């Protein structure tokens, strides 16, 4: 039974890798509509809108990690680890969205015979330090 579970987990990681490579991610909406597939850019747009609402009403940006509820969205089985960090600089406040994913390198470990996974990070910055806080997958 563990063998089947292991294969299922590896398949899910692989399919999430394929979907994220294509720019598609899955977000489970808190409403009863079930999973909705949106692009990475659409997800970032939702976060931007929530951040703008929050800064206007609470005078600060939201900070959160994966598996927390964000506005009306509840993240489940999301293919990325997600973090949002608020920052305050001499030029003003802002925030940074950090996405982390694991990709299959195509290599197999000689000791465990498991695929060798590699973490990649993408960051999107907003505010006065946006340019220095934004970079693509690396």
Taking the chain (138 residues) in runs of 10, the rounded mean pLDDT of each run is 57 48 40 52 82 86 66 62 88 92 89 91 95 95
Query: Which DSSP letter does residue 133 get?
Result: T
pLDDT of res. 82: 81
DSSP 10-49: HHHHHHHHHHHHTTEEEEEBSSTT-EEEEEHHHHHHHHHH
Q: Which residues contact 88 (CB under 8 A, 6 or more apart)?
A: none
Residue 54 lies inside a defined structural domain of this protein? yes
pLDDT at 76: 58
Its domain, for residue 35, covers 2-126
pTM equals 0.65
Length of the chain equals: 138
How large is the C-alpha radius of gyration of the chain? 17
**Number of domains, the chain:** 1
Domain presence at residue 135: no
Residue recorded with tokens 């399919």: 15
Q: Is residue 137 part of a domain?
A: no
């Amino acid at each position: 039974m563990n063998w089947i579970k292991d294969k299922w987990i590896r398949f899910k990681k692989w399919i999430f890798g394929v979907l994220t490579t294509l720019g598609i991610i899955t977000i489970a909406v808190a409403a009863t509509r079930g999973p909705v597939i949106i692009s990475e850019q659409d997800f970032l747009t939702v976060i931007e809108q929530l951040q703008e609402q929050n800064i206007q009403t609470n005078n600060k940006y939201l900070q959160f990690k994966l598996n927390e509820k964000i506005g009306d969205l509840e993240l489940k089985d999301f293919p990325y680890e997600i973090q949002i960090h608020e920052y305050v600089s001499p030029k003003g406040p802002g925030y940074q969205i950090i996405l982390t994913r694991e990709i299959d390198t195509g290599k197999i470990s000689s000791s465990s015979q498991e695929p060798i996974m590699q973490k990649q990070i993408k960051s999107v910055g907003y505010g006065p330090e946006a340019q220095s806080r934004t970079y693509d997958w690396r």
